[in-house]
Structure 1
Amino acid sequence: MRARVTTRVVRPKSVKASASDDPLYLQVARTLKTEIVGGRYPVGSHLPTESELCARFAVSHYTIREALRRLRDDRLVASRQGAGTIVVPRPKADAYAQDVVSINDLLEFATGARFAIESVDMVTIDGKLAARTGLAAGEEWLAVRGLRQREGALAPVCWTEYYINREFAALGKVLGRHVGPIFPLIEDLFGRSILEVHQEIGATVLSAALAKSLKVEAGTAALEVRRTYKSSDAEVAQVTINTHPASRFRHSMTMRRIKM
């Protein structure tokens, strides 16, 4: 029986001056959120006007509106016609928050491990693949498969499978010379921001063929890490499955008690 752990990760909102690849509105939203939580804008106070925020961050009105929308979604502020944007009390709660909030942190290994592509082709999702990916059977997706290996390592890190929405299938032509995770290409080439990643970790056993590629014995225990990337229009842009021999995988997270 397969054991599965589910983690939901949302991309962080970092300051514009950082090296973050996040969309500008998320960077602005993160800065404002930090300032709200830190007391620069206490409950009941008004945030600066859109024009003032545009000047401060050197971004467009559209970017500021999207940043404020994100803060409203986080229930940190409320916008009222003619009254501007007001900081509101956060709902009371006492819970544990998982301290895994960065898509970039989550996929750090993708930058440090070379991806050796073995196949790139369009596939029709069958029943078995639908169960593994969470995609609908009968749909066509671009499948990119290969091994990830760190420089100087004797064995691969994992077997990687990318399933990319056919809307972005043109990526197949540039992947051979691309280094790092694929989702930034979707953002850069198609203008579709990846806002959320849903992660599931499940236990499995390696087949003889896959075990040979990963340089372990057939039947070795492994972990499948499936990540579903959703774009700014809430559509699934990409599904990634990384299969790691159990001895080469460690998932670490920190949870801290918070009060809202």
Structure 2
Amino acid sequence: MSGSRQTQSDAETTPAQPGAGTESKRPLYLQVAGTLREEIVSGVYPVGSKLPTEDGLCERFSVSRYTVREALRLLREDGLVASRKRAGTVVIPPRVSGSDIQQVMSINDLLALGTDTRFRIDAIHTVTIDTELAAHTGLEPGEQWLRVEGFRFNEGENAPASRTEHFINRKYAAVGRLLQRHEGPIFPLIEDLFGINIVRVEQQISAAILPPPLAAVLEVEEGSAALEIRRTYTTADASVAQITINIHPGTRFQHSMSMRRVRN
């Protein structure tokens, strides 16, 4: 009827006029998802990069916010992106079933890690760094740090992907009150709460052997090979804000990185 209003649902799924291509007959959210999927796979949006905002995608594709959100939902289900509050929608590394694949080239890439995992906290307490912890963390003996212990799980998997420990500078220990309700990496929360900037992250990867208790929880054989990844987060004034140590079963972890030749 002339002058009648068309509902959002009808508008987003209305078939194209006769003569239009097959692609235009698909629901708009599938078209948007298909285009973005091709761009992610082809490298237009590399791992660790952000997709445009919902408003930006609405403007680009001339569609509603509902359509954009449905398209992004499909991309998340395909394991191509992860969404996080205040960080937007980030392209994440591909995952092989049963394996945790990480590709880290910048601090921004660390935001992508953890967005599609769940961290189960087992303990939060203040510790004084002794000789053993100093060797484990690289911290000075006698200092006090907030220690957060738990296990990280990949989405849809029951066995833990890693044993995870966070050591947080005592100056920022108040962040511990928020961690039970927090999702994603901790260092952006510290930045937001205390107005600091993490400008450098040093990563050290070492081989390890899983002791019996930890092997049992990670559901692998006692004495299995593992990888220990220690990341040290440093602020602009060169002080250490956080140290994170992840222990991954060797059969479930793969670290991926790419290098480019720089020509003078």
Q: TM-score, normalised by structure 1?
A: 0.61
The equivalent of 1:137 in structure 2 is: 141
CA distance in 1, matches of 2:115, 2:200: 19
1:128 and 2:124 correspond: no
Specify every segment of 5 or more residues in structure 2 that has no aligned partner in the other structure, as ranges.
1-47, 54-102
231, 255, 258: which one pairs with 2:259?
255
Q: Which amino acid aligns with 1:254?
A: S
The equivalent of 1:217 in structure 2 is: 221
CA distance in 1, matches of 2:126, 2:144: 6
How far 1:154 moved relative to its partner? 2.8
The equivalent of 2:105 in structure 1 is: 101
194, 200, 208: which one pairs with 1:196?
200
237, 249, 256: which one pairs with 1:245?
249
The equivalent of 2:12 in structure 1 is: none
| Superposed CA offset, 1:6-45 (max 9, x none) | xxxxxxxx999967xxxxxxxxxxxxxxxxxxxxxxxxxx
| Superposed CA offset, 1:230-255 (max 9, x none) | 01211000000000000111011111
Identity of aligned residues (%): 56
CA distance in 2, matches of 1:242, 1:236: 18
| Superposed CA offset, 1:127-147 (max 9, x none) | 111111110011000000000
CA distance in 1, matches of 2:187, 2:49: 21
Q: Which amino acid aligns with 1:237?
A: A
- Decide whether the 8 Å contact of 1:100 with 1:254 is kept in 2: no
Higher relative contact order (CA 8 A, sep 6+): 1
Dislocated runs of 4+, deviation >3 Å: 14-19
Structure 1 residues 64-103: aligned runs within 5 Å: 100-103=104-107
The equivalent of 1:174 in structure 2 is: 178
CA RMSD of aligned residues (A): 2.2
- Decide whether the 8 Å contact of 1:204 with 1:222 is kept in 2: yes
Specify every segment of 5 or more residues in structure 1 that has no aligned partner in the other structure, as ranges.
1-13, 20-98
The equivalent of 2:120 in structure 1 is: 116
Structure 1 residues 126-165: aligned runs within 5 Å: 126-165=130-169
Structure 1 residues 244 and 184: CA distance shift in structure 2, 3 A: same
Q: Which amino acid aligns with 2:114?
A: A
Q: Number of residues paired by the alignment?
A: 168
How far 1:104 moved relative to its partner? 2.8
How far 1:112 moved relative to its partner? 1.0
How far 1:109 moved relative to its partner? 2.8
Structure 1 residues 16 and 108: CA distance shift in structure 2, 3 A: closer
CA distance in 2, matches of 1:140, 1:258: 43
How far 1:215 moved relative to its partner? 1.1
Structure 1 residues 154 and 237: CA distance shift in structure 2, 3 A: same
| Superposed CA offset, 1:155-178 (max 9, x none) | 111010000000000011110000
> Bigger radius of gyration, 1 or 2?
2
Structure 1 residues 197 and 176: CA distance shift in structure 2, 3 A: same
CA distance in 2, matches of 1:234, 1:140: 18
How far 1:151 moved relative to its partner? 2.5
How far 1:150 moved relative to its partner? 1.8
